[in-house]
């Protein structure tokens, strides 16, 4: 790819490498049933979704959910998602892009807010694990920001990765926040959980395909 060594990509998983929009929307609407909320479309989800996730529910409820309501919706969401994720596949072109980045001598990793114990076998099952020098999923409670997780992720990579030559590729504004918090750059992809308009508010490059994202990552990490 015509670039000196040292460039690193931190990939988001859900909505970025893993095209799971249908499972996400289905799980969200299953959780909504518990509070008597009407189902929403993918377009509505992209316009309203935000982190921390309870704030997303506040936009729909008109108030923050109680602790008991949040725990119930979170449990229903993850149960439904686990049942339906098997229908989902990697985003188009992802395998080729991962292989190309590796063959060019660059490194890459995954940091996801999906539970670590579920994430690792899922990545392994797609036969792409060897492309990553580290795969980290969420540990601890769900629903929060990725920022501190990103700091720990890059810290665990140590001297292998220079944050200044690291680019986070994700589908949510929070990916840009996390990248900035850890001293890295970000490129946001419109195929996942956020609308283009909401992503553009993050002040980083926004693209419509993963191929464009990798091209932009090359430029930013040069």
Instruction: Give how far Cα 35 sits from Cα of 28, 32, 46, 77, 106, Å.
Output: 11, 5, 20, 13, 47
Q: So what's the pLDDT on residue 89?
A: 97
Residue with tokens 């909401």: 198
CA 84/CA 24 separation, integer angstroms: 9
Confidence band, pLDDT 50/70/90 cuts, at residue 28: very high
Q: What's residue 69's pLDDT?
A: 93
Residue 4: is its pLDDT beyond 70? no
pLDDT tens digits, 53-94: 888 989 988 999 999 999 999 999 999 999 999 999 999 999
- The pLDDT of residue 50 is 86
Q: If you average pLDDT over residues 36-43, what whole number do you get?
A: 92
Per-residue pLDDT for 2 more than 80?
no
Q: What is the pLDDT of residues 121-174, one digit of tens each?
A: 999 999 999 999 999 999 988 878 899 999 999 999 999 899 999 999 999 999
Residue 44 burial class via C-beta count within 10 angstroms: exposed 0-12, middle 13-18, buried 19 and up: middle
Q: Work out the pLDDT band at 35, boundaries 50, 70, 90.
A: confident
For residues 191 and 47, the answer to whether their CB atoms sit within 8 Å is: no
Whole-number average pLDDT of the chain: 93
């Amino acid at each position: 790819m015509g670039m000196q060594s040292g460039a690193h990509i931190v990939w988001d998983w859900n909505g970025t490498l893993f095209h799971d929009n249908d499972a996400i929307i289905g799980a969200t609407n299953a959780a909504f049933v518990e509070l008597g909320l009407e189902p929403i479309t993918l377009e509505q989800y992209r316009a309203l979704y935000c982190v921390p996730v309870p704030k997303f529910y506040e936009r729909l409820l008109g108030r923050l959910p109680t602790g008991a309501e949040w725990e119930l919706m979170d449990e229903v969401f993850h149960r439904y998602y686990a049942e339906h994720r098997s229908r989902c596949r990697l985003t188009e072109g992802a395998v080729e892009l991962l292989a190309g980045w590796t063959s060019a001598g660059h490194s890459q990793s995954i940091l996801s807010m999906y539970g670590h114990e579920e994430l690792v076998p899922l990545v392994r099952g797609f036969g792409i694990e060897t492309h990553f020098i580290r795969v980290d999923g969420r540990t601890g409670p769900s629903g929060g920001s990725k920022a501190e997780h990103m700091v720990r992720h890059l810290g665990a990579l140590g001297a292998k990765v220079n944050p200044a030559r690291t680019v986070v590729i994700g589908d949510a504004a929070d990916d840009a926040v996390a990248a900035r918090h850890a001293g890295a750059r970000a490129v946001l992809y419109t195929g996942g959980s956020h609308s283009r308009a909401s992503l553009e508010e993050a002040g980083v490059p926004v693209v419509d395909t993963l191929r464009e994202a990798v091209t932009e990552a090359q430029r930013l990490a040069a």
